[in-house]
Chain A
Amino acid sequence: MNENFGEPTDSEVDELYARLDREAKQGGYFLNREAEFVKGLVRGLLINERRYGYRACPCRLAADDKQQDLDIICPCYYRDADLSEFGACYCALYVSAAVLKGEKELSCIPERRPPFESRAAKPGSSGASLDAVPAKLSVPVWRCLVCGYLCGREGPPEVCPICKAGRERFERFI
């Protein structure tokens, strides 16, 4: 854990906030409308980036091991399911259109991430089976574990074009 870092400055917070907002909109997602609330979370993301080297979820305890924490790098693997079920991600950084428009109220979201013991066995991948594929594919299909984006190519892209997740957060789907 790197402890020799300064507090994120207001301009760093504003810069990342603007970037996340832009990327969210491009991908069809929405950030929470409460700017001060979001800035608090963005500050937490910047602190975690300095501490651990990656933007671990500010509302979860990071292990200081990127491999173990791949699922909770923001946006996390659980965001889409929580958006569908509760109208917000675990932190409420991302919200659904209904929550954004005030048609649905936010409630406390239970932790969807499996406990450590059951997590260790399967590092994020669902282990797709090749048996169900009817024809031989010319290239494998890769799936973004954050947003579900699929692409057929030799290897996963450097960065997901939809949600900006890094290539290490893709699984071979078919």
Chain B
Amino acid sequence: MNFEHVAGEEKGKITLYALSTCIWCKRTRELLMALGVSFDYIYVDLLKGEDRSKAIEQVKHYNPSTSFPTLVIGDKSIVGFREKEIREALG
């Protein structure tokens, strides 16, 4: 599974599971970029076969409804574009 890496300030491990067609995922990614933190993201809808199943399993672990965006900050997850929560978690 190849995550895209965005360089920035180190705030622990930050992973964004997103869909390439989803506006709220895009807003979440843009927010992370605006906050200037280092993070990895992946578009699950563009994955195939084993990579896709693996990514879905990972999302499900944090978010049983497997919805997007799922943002994992350390061992905490934020589901959906919740700007205030994301800012607080990374502030």
Contacts and interface: CB of A to CB of B under 8 A. Distances in A.
Nearest to A112: B65
Given A108-B81, A109-B80, A110-B80, A60 B67 contact: yes
Nearest to A108: B80
A40 interface: yes
Interface string B44-85: 110010000000100000001111100000000001111000
A84 to B, nearest CB: 19
Contacts of A1: 48
A91 B43 CA distance: 17
Nearest to A90: B67
A47 B21 contact: yes
A115 B19 contact: no
Contacts of B21: 43-44, 47-48, 58-59
A41 B21 CA distance: 7
Contacts, number: 53
Contact of B82 (A37, A40, A58, A108): A108
Given A1-B48, A108-B80, A108-B82, A59 B64 contact: no
A48 B79 CA distance: 23
Dominant secondary structure of chain B at its interface with chain A: loop
A2 to B, nearest CB: 13
A61 B17 CA distance: 11
Interface string A17-42: 00000000000000000000100110
Interface in A46-77: 47-48, 58-62
A104 interface: no
A49 B54 CA distance: 25
A127 B9 CA distance: 54
A62 B48 CA distance: 12
A1 B45 CA distance: 10
A37 B65 CA distance: 25
A116 interface: yes
Interface of A: 1, 37, 40-41, 43-44, 47-48, 58-62, 91, 108-111, 113, 115-116
21 contacts: A1-B48, A40-B23, A43-B21, A58-B19, A58-B21, A58-B22, A58-B23, A59-B22, A59-B68, A60-B68, A61-B45, A61-B66, A91-B22, A91-B23, A108-B82, A110-B65, A110-B79, A110-B80, A111-B67, A111-B79, A116-B66
Given A47-B21, A61-B45, A115-B64, 17 more contacts: A44-B21, A44-B23, A59-B19, A59-B21, A59-B25, A59-B68, A60-B68, A61-B56, A61-B68, A91-B23, A108-B24, A109-B80, A111-B67, A111-B79, A113-B65, A113-B67, A116-B66
